[in-house]
Amino acid sequence: MLVQKKMAQALQPVRGTRDIIGEDAARHAYVVETARRVTTRYGFAEWQTPIFEATAVFLRPLGETSDVVTKEMYTFADRGNDSLTLRPEGTAGICRALISNGLTQTLPQKIFYHGPMFRYERPQKGRYRQFHQIGLELLGPNTPLADAEVIDCGWQILNELGVAKDVVLNINTLGDAESRQNYRAALVAYFSDHAEQLSDDSKIRLQKNPLRILDSKDAGDRALVAAAPRIHDHLTEAAAMFYDGLKSHLAGFGVPFTENPGIVRGFDY
pLDDT of residue 72: 85
Distance CA 51, CA 113 (A): 12
3-state secondary structure the chain: CHHHHHHHHHCCCCCCCCCCCHHHHHHHHHHHHHHHHHHHHCCCEECCCCCEEECHHHHHHHCCCCHHHHHHCCEEECCCCCEEEECCCCHHHHHHHHHHCCCCCCCCEEEEEEEEEECCCCCECCECCEEEEEEEEEECCCCHHHHHHHHHHHHHHHHHHCCHHHCCCEECCCCCHHHHHHHHHHHHHHHHCCHHHCCHHHHHHHHHCHHHHHHCCCHHHHHHHHCCCCHHHHCCHHHHHHHHHHHHHHHHHCCCCEECCCCCCCCCC
pLDDT of residue 251: 97
- Please state the domain extents for the chain: 14-167, 169-269
pLDDT of residue 263: 79
Residues in the chain predicted with pLDDT less than 50, given as ranges, are 267-269
Distance CA 257, CA 51 (A): 33
Work out the widest C-alpha separation in the chain, in whole angstroms: 72
Do residues 69 and 63 make contact, with C-beta atoms less than 8 angstroms apart?
Answer: yes
pLDDT of residue 64: 57
Amino acid in the structure at residue 260 = N
Q: Give whole-number Cα distances, 72 to 101, 114, 126, 262, in Å.
A: 29, 20, 17, 23
Is the Cα dihedral 134, 150, 168, 72 positive or negative?
positive
Amino acid in the structure at residue 59 = L
Fold of 14-167: BirA Bifunctional Protein; domain 2 (3.30.930)
Q: Report residue 126 CA to chain centroid gap.
A: 17
Taking only the tens place, the pLDDT of each residue in 91-120 is 999 999 999 999 999 999 999 999 999 998
pLDDT of residue 268: 47
